[in-house]
Structure 1
Amino acid sequence: MKKILIVDDHLQITEVLKEYVQKEGFHPIIAVDGAQALEKFYEQPVELILLDVMIPKMDGFAVCKKIRETSSVPIIMVTAKGEDYHRIMGLDIGADDYIVKPFSPSEVMARIRAILRRIEQTDENKHSMKQLNYDNLTVYLEEKRVVINQHEIILTKRELELLWLLLSNKEKVFSRDNLLDSLWGFDYYGDARTVDTHIKRLRAKLDEVNHSNWEIATVWGQGYKFEGRHEK
């Protein structure tokens, strides 16, 4: 049974989410503060984390950063803070999605299903193609590794999916809506700015190592593409 870690210090919220998670056939694990969230996360593998930002001992941003040091497990930030700054900050540190209180439990479950469905589809397709190469870049899908000039680049699962999609379709321009539909799913409730944030973070990580023969290019007014200098 797939396990979902729910992190929130409000009993009423955790009880509601617990009930909905159980109805979907998942096993809920509850944590009421940041320290307990990390403890439970390291104790047993989970398929996804619902992580509130405003929790005692260690806030959700700090918990997310810590988890991202070793894991690409999907993380949905759940918080009352709806300003763009907090949404972008959550995505910048590695969250896969962001939902603002007050929320509909049905919406939360729709996002969980969308993320887990996408993971299952990726796993099913692994046998057909496991590795992509371009110049000094190698992406290992099954191992979830990215290497540039023998230097390993640590990406989140969503960043890896984004790079894989662009690299496997070199020179093809993807609009923001294309990328949202492909990676977040048709039932995603967010907006196109989520794509911009992930592209910015992906570029920053890739730029840690020189790659003068390729880039994630912006096509103004259209979207993004993987651009290879050898292709010109």
Structure 2
Amino acid sequence: MPSTILVVDDDPHIRQLLVFAFGKAGLDTIEAADGEEALAQVERHAPNLVVLDINMPRMDGLEVCRRLRAASQVPIFFLSSRDDEIDRVLGIELGGDDYVVKPFSPREVVARSMAILRRTASRPPESEAIAVLRHGRVTLDPESWTVRWGEQEVALTVTEFTILRTLLAMPSRIFSRDNIIDRFRGPGFALTDRTVDSHVRNLRRKFAEVGGSDVIETRAGIGYRLGACSGAPAA
């Protein structure tokens, strides 16, 4: 299925570069020059991915992300004009799926956007059924991209969903941060350990809000593994 990318940046030159690069990759694009226009475009066109500048006047990208996450799980790819880890991690914790720092390579943005779209849109062959994953009170359905704690659905971003799916698939294994990055991004993907930690904090917070305080365990000096998922305090 064709995908539509919303490119949001107050710099028309950057928008032009990205629209051209996505077009060469066979992807349709729409544009927005500020945060308010971005929200309107999402409501009007329901894009498959939002490429979103953080530093914009009037309404910055972090506020746009907050508002989108209140009603949508559309993947968000942040563009940052500063190599500031605090801003980047904050963007991830608000629900972003990836980021790149300006100046960037348009080809890299396209490649990383395509990786997000593949994770979102991939479906198994009709002859191959993917089993629903269950552990304790957690249920993850790869077909419908839904996660539940008991009977209550837990809304996750694409990246959070993929991390949880990785842990659920091998519940007894301890995954290092590098293992997690390699599992759902591919080797060599530009994702930091701290960003993985941010996604894990998001997962813990979202499950804790519905009573799931033991979904992910930390193994000091090693990484993460799936917890008991019973509602007891986590390790």
Q: Does TM-score exceed 0.5, indicating one fold? A: yes
Q: How many residues align?
A: 228
Of residues 136-145 and 190-199 in structure 1, the stretch that sits farther from structure 2 once superposed is: 136-145
**2:5–2:27 Cα contact (<8 Å) kept:** yes
2:215 partner SS: strand
Q: Which amino acid aligns with 1:70?
A: A
Which residue is equivalent to 1:61?
62
Identity rate, percent: 37
**2:138–2:229 Cα contact (<8 Å) kept:** no
**2:212–2:229 Cα contact (<8 Å) kept:** no
- Cα distance, 1:130 vs. partner? 4.6
- Cα distance, 1:124 vs. partner? 2.4
**1:3–1:47 Cα contact (<8 Å) kept:** yes
1:57 partner SS: coil
Seen in structure 2, the aligned counterparts of structure 1 residues 20 and 69 have a Cα distance that, compared at 3 Å, is: same
Asked if 1:188 corresponds to 2:189, the answer is: yes
- Cα distance, 1:215 vs. partner? 2.9
- Cα distance, 1:61 vs. partner? 0.6
**2:133–2:140 Cα contact (<8 Å) kept:** yes
**2:4–2:49 Cα contact (<8 Å) kept:** yes
How far apart are the structure 2 equivalents of 1:40 and 1:56? Answer: 18
How far apart are the structure 2 equivalents of 1:80 and 1:200? Answer: 25
How far apart are the structure 2 equivalents of 1:125 and 1:148? Answer: 28
2:130 partner SS: coil
Seen in structure 2, the aligned counterparts of structure 1 residues 204 and 188 have a Cα distance that, compared at 3 Å, is: same
TM-score by length of 1: 0.90
- Cα distance, 1:91 vs. partner? 0.2
How far apart are the structure 1 equivalents of 2:121 and 2:148? Answer: 24
**2:119–2:158 Cα contact (<8 Å) kept:** no
How far apart are the structure 2 equivalents of 1:158 and 1:36? Answer: 25
Matches within 5 A, 1:47-196: 47-121=48-122, 123-124=123-124, 128-196=129-197
Seen in structure 2, the aligned counterparts of structure 1 residues 144 and 117 have a Cα distance that, compared at 3 Å, is: closer
- Cα distance, 1:134 vs. partner? 2.2
**1:132–1:167 Cα contact (<8 Å) kept:** yes
Matches within 5 A, 1:189-208: 189-208=190-209
- Cα distance, 1:112 vs. partner? 1.3
Any stretches of 5+ residues in structure 2 without a counterpart?
Answer: 231-235
Any stretches of 5+ residues in structure 1 without a counterpart?
Answer: none
How far apart are the structure 1 equivalents of 2:156 and 2:229? Answer: 23
Which residue is equivalent to 2:233?
none
Alpha-carbon RMSD? 2.0
How far apart are the structure 2 equivalents of 1:30 and 1:211? Answer: 39
TM-score by length of 2: 0.89
How far apart are the structure 1 equivalents of 2:71 and 2:135? Answer: 26
How far apart are the structure 2 equivalents of 1:155 and 1:37? Answer: 21
- Cα distance, 1:196 vs. partner? 0.9
2:21 partner SS: helix
Q: Which amino acid aligns with 2:55?
A: M
User: Per-residue displacement from partner, 1:157-183 (whole Å, max 9, x unpaired)?
Assistant: 211121122112111111111110111
**1:114–1:185 Cα contact (<8 Å) kept:** no
Which residue is equivalent to 1:218?
218
**2:137–2:229 Cα contact (<8 Å) kept:** no
- Cα distance, 1:78 vs. partner? 0.3
- Cα distance, 1:187 vs. partner? 4.6
